[in-house]
């Protein structure tokens, strides 16, 4: 199957001519939505221009949005068409085939990453979409079914920072309080706390 697409180039917005036979219409809501997406992530999807007629074949809505955003250039892919029938069919099918796509809203909700509270779901391009987070699992949900464990109050009454001039000073200090210094010890309890047997507490 022959690929009829050439390299993408930047073209002056004002030089692009819309095909007068284009039967696709673009409501104001769509244009405003496109402008939001372009502001957010940039102009990514190139327009298509026919090498046969020089007319815009795909992307009129993006062109309108680009003009209203006062963009000077947009990416364009030039494509070959054998005749008028092929060019007209492709121009119409570009929108018509996309309308046959069905979005699985349940899957969107299940797989939607946590982008934080400031993420605008309008950037997904889905009309009138509201993210349903009621079924999303949180970190606390992972503890459901786990046995209860009371670790008690582990806050200290008081803490001090001790500085040592030499290694010998550190050894003498730990010897006096009767505790072991690994060389990487960052903090200790006094009296020394008995370490918990975590293996016996493992939940299987």
Q: What beta strand segments (E) does 67-129 contain?
A: 73-79
Tokens at residue 80, please? 């070959």
Average pLDDT over residues 135-152: 57
Which pLDDT value is given to residue 85?
Answer: 95
Q: Which helix (H) or strand (E) holds 178?
A: none
The 10 Å Cβ neighbour count of residue 40 is 10
pLDDT digits (tens, 9 = 90+) for 109-119: 777 777 776 77
The 10 Å Cβ neighbour count of residue 31 is 16
Which pLDDT value is given to residue 32?
Answer: 93
Q: What is the spatial distance between Cα 130 and Cα 133, in angstroms, rounded to a whole number? A: 9
**% residues pLDDT > 90 (the chain):** 38
pLDDT digits (tens, 9 = 90+) for 69-90: 999 999 999 999 999 999 999 9
Q: Any residues with CB less than 8 A from the CB of 53 and at least 6 apart, and which? A: 19, 81, 87
Residue 125 confidence (pLDDT) above 90: no
What rounded mean pLDDT belongs to the chain? 80
Domain boundaries, the chain: 5-100
pLDDT digits (tens, 9 = 90+) for 11-22: 999 999 999 999
Residue 100 confidence (pLDDT) above 80: no
Residue 147 confidence (pLDDT) above 90: no
Residue 145 confidence (pLDDT) above 70: no
Residue 171 confidence (pLDDT) above 70: yes
pLDDT digits (tens, 9 = 90+) for 36-72: 999 999 999 999 999 999 999 999 999 999 999 999 9
CATH class of 5-100: alpha beta
pTM above 0.85, yes or no: no
Which pLDDT value is given to residue 146?
Answer: 65
């Amino acid at each position: 199957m022959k690929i009829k697409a050439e390299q993408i180039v930047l073209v002056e917005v004002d030089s692009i001519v819309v095909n007068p036979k284009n039967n696709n219409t673009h409501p104001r809501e769509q244009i405003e939505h496109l402008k939001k997406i372009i502001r957010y992530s940039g102009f990514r999807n190139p327009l298509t221009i026919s090498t046969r007629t020089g007319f815009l074949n795909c992307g009129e809505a993006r062109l309108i949005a680009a003009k209203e955003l006062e963009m000077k250039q947009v990416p364009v892919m030039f494509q070959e068409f054998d005749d008028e029938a092929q060019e007209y069919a492709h121009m119409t099918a570009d929108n018509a085939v996309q309308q046959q796509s069905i979005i699985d809203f349940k899957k969107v909700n299940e797989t939607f990453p946590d982008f934080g509270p400031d993420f605008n779901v309008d950037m997904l391009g889905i009309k009138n979409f509201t993210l349903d987070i009621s079924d999303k699992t949180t970190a606390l949900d992972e503890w459901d079914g786990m046995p209860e464990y009371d670790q008690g109050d582990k806050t200290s009454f008081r803490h001090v920072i001790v500085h040592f001039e030499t290694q010998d000073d550190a050894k003498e200090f730990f010897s006096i309080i009767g505790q072991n210094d690994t060389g990487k010890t960052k903090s200790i309890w006094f009296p020394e706390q008995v370490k918990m047997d975590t293996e016996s507490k493992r939940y299987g």
